[in-house]
């Protein structure tokens, strides 16, 4: 079977929709049979279901057994199979609670912004340009300021030998 047919996205969506429609209950016998009939054969159903399980979109779909010479056998367990929170969030297509709960807050201390402004103030450029840059700096969102700060830090580290010489000269004068 062709791999795109074997792992058919539309059929995977059918599985997820069947499970979300029955949640919090298990699939009933009729829904189970209706779902499995949509696949070319039982192995096709197993392949799609295992793929969804590997990605954490469904949980506990099978009871696995091994028989000598035949390898693994998968027995669909409609009573324990369920759609996971990742599966629900995938279907809702808005990130769901995962998007809300995984928000990361980046806090920049006022000292960081003041330090960046100081760098601009001592730069060798016309005063109107300095004022314009400081104004734009104050309008930047926090993640842009963080990115700028990291770039400046990187440049500082790359030019560390020059910075060390500056420090040595300043200390020798003092």
Domains of the chain in start order, with CATH, are 3-101 (1.10.10), 110-173 (no CATH)
The tokens for 15 are: 């599985």
Within 10 A of 125 (CB to CB), how many other CB atoms are there?
11
Q: Give the mean model confidence (pLDDT) for residues 55-75.
A: 91
Lowest mean pLDDT among 20-29, 114-123, 148-157: 148-157
- Give me the chain's average pLDDT, please: 87
| Residue 48, pLDDT score | 97
* Structure confidence at residue 174 as a pLDDT band (50, 70, 90): low
Lowest mean pLDDT among 10-19, 39-48, 131-140, 156-165: 156-165
Q: How far is it, in rounded angstroms, from Cα 74 to Cα 64?
A: 5
- Report the run of H or E that residue 82 belongs to, with start and end: strand 82-83
């Amino acid at each position: 079977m062709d791999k795109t047919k074997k792992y058919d996205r539309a059929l995977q969506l059918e599985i997820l929709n069947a499970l979300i429609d029955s949640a919090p209950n298990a699939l009933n016998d009729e829904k189970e049979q209706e779902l499995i009939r949509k696949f070319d054969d039982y192995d096709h159903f197993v392949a799609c279901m295992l793929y969804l399980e590997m990605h954490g979109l469904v949980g506990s779909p099978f009871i696995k057994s091994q028989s000598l010479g035949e390898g693994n056998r998968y027995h669909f367990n409609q009573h324990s199979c369920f759609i996971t929170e990742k599966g629900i969030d995938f279907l809702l297509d808005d990130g769901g609670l995962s998007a809300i709960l995984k928000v990361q807050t980046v806090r920049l201390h006022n000292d960081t912004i003041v330090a960046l402004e100081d760098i601009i103030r001592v730069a060798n450029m016309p005063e109107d340009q300095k004022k314009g840059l400081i104004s734009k700096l104050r309008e930047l969102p926090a993640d842009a300021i963080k990115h700028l700060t990291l770039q400046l830090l990187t440049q500082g580290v790359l030019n560390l030998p020059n910075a060390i010489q500056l420090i040595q000269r300043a200390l020798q004068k003092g």
